[in-house]
A and B are shown apart, each in its own frame.
Chain A
Amino acid sequence: MNFKFALFFGLTVGMAASAFADKAVEAPGGKYAKDAEQMFRTSFKAENPKYWMTRLEQDETMKACQQYRDNPPRKVGEKLEKLNAATIRYPVEGKLIGDWKEGEKLAAVGTGGHIGFIQPDPAGKLRGGNCYACHELAKKEIAYGTIGPSLRNFGKIRGNTEENIKYVYDKIYNSNSFTACTNMPRFGLHSWLTPEQITHIVAFLIDPESPVNKD
């Protein structure tokens, strides 16, 4: 009798806890999510060219990340990671580590890709990786952000093995291959950076001669 009661009590608490967990991850917008999507889509100036408006499309990853507030259950996360890993493409020559000096330039560039009518970037403006917005890299650059982890001495600490070089390339190409819903953009997937540009940033991170690894 006591055992049965304990079992019943345990189950009830368990169910209540899982109900609470479900509530804790209510999708943003709740019951108004559909209305909100409709409202958002119709909030943009009619003068925006169609090809700009395509930037509002969400792929499966974006939708799921929004739904789970960037913290998806592991099962969903694993599925997204597989999906994203399958998108990775490599440079034609197959070399994944390029010129760290080119990578250093790209890491510092935060402009490019701004649209609209108020302060758009001029057409053809270099798009960079904007790495310093979120990461510490070379010691001499103190204006770094902290949204991502510090990558100072990354190559020195992690080594310049082939495996690590491929990991860094893949991470920059499609960050969601490793951590679904990370804050980091998917630079290769969106063709924000070319495969060649990514190899230069890989070099900036890993090459022993790069200022990232030289104090």
Chain B
Amino acid sequence: MIRRLMKTLVGAAILAAFAGSVAAQDSKVADELAKYREALADGNPADLFEVKGEGLWLEKRGPKNASLEQCDLGQGPGKLEGAYAALPKYFKDTNKVMDVESRLVHCMVTLQGFTQAEVTKQWYSKPGKDSDIEALVTFVGAKSNGMKINVPATHPEEAKMAKMGEYIFYRRSGPQDFSCSICHGQDGKRIRLQDLGNLTTKAGAGEAMRTWPSYRVSQGTVWTMQRRLIDCMRQARWPEPNYLADSIIALETYLQKTATGTVMETPGIKR
């Protein structure tokens, strides 16, 4: 872990050095950023979340003293391989399209006997208070590594969710006239120095979706896709959505459908 930390610090030093070199050209900027990302990727702190997530999956917990080993994430009870890559998905037992997080919460409630409020109280980490959900999602996500994202949204409920996600993607409102599409509807753009993916294309959506969950260096923790999208809405200067809200799952369905066919490589690491 200390070795990993050192590598992260080296990465930060590279970024700092780069930030100081004022006269850099665009291409040079891109090169230096690529080096920074490379340094970060070598030793991803999210690996620790993955290990913790596996522990939480196997441990008997909750009023029912049960593990999550019988949790059905869409491929059958306990089947984790490729499950993340095929979510969100329609589930007959709840009659809902669910993403990995809503499904994990569902399992913790039905199998382990927790209340929804208990399980979602700490849905993201705060300093000194780690989130079990982040760890579980990291563990489940890694079980899809090397597999193609596979959300064709062929079930009518999935197709509807994907279309509703598209609606939200283009919906402009707020004091800055923002929509997702403003920043993520074109190829090859940057906000400040941050590259922006064109999420309306397979390549762009793939580059984003196939690397989540991701460790956020600036936040010091893993971010799930729910966290990522809820923060996008904060950046758009909108009010705060509910965790696990249908509008977030709809956006995920739209993006996963667009990204279908790209190969998962998680946990990612981002600035």
Which residues of A are interface residues toward B (Cβ below 8 A)?
Answer: 28-33, 35-37, 39-40, 43-45, 48, 52-53, 55-58, 61-62, 65-66, 69-70, 110, 113-120, 132-134, 140, 142-147, 183-186, 190-192
Contact = CB atoms under 8 A, between A and B. Distances in A.
Contacts of A55: 173-175, 237-239
Interface string B227-246: 00011011101111110011
The 3 lowest CB-CB distance pairs between A and B, nearest first, are A29-B167, A116-B240, A36-B167
Chain A contact residues, majority secondary structure: loop
A114 B174 CA distance: 11
B183 interface: yes
Given A30-B163, A36-B163, A40-B167, 6 more contacts: A39-B250, A69-B170, A113-B176, A114-B234, A115-B237, A118-B234
Given A55-B174, A145-B192, A32 B182 contact: no
Given A118-B231, A119-B234, A185-B178, A28 B173 contact: no
Q: Place the interface of chain B in its size category.
A: 35 or more
Given A114-B237, A116-B240, A143-B192, A37 B167 contact: yes
Contact of A133 (B171, B185, B192): B192
A146 B189 CA distance: 5
Contacts of B64: none
B270 interface: no
B167 A62 contact: no
22 contacts: A28-B166, A28-B167, A31-B163, A32-B164, A36-B164, A40-B168, A40-B171, A44-B238, A45-B239, A55-B238, A66-B170, A66-B172, A70-B181, A110-B192, A118-B124, A143-B192, A145-B191, A147-B186, A147-B189, A183-B183, A185-B177, A185-B178
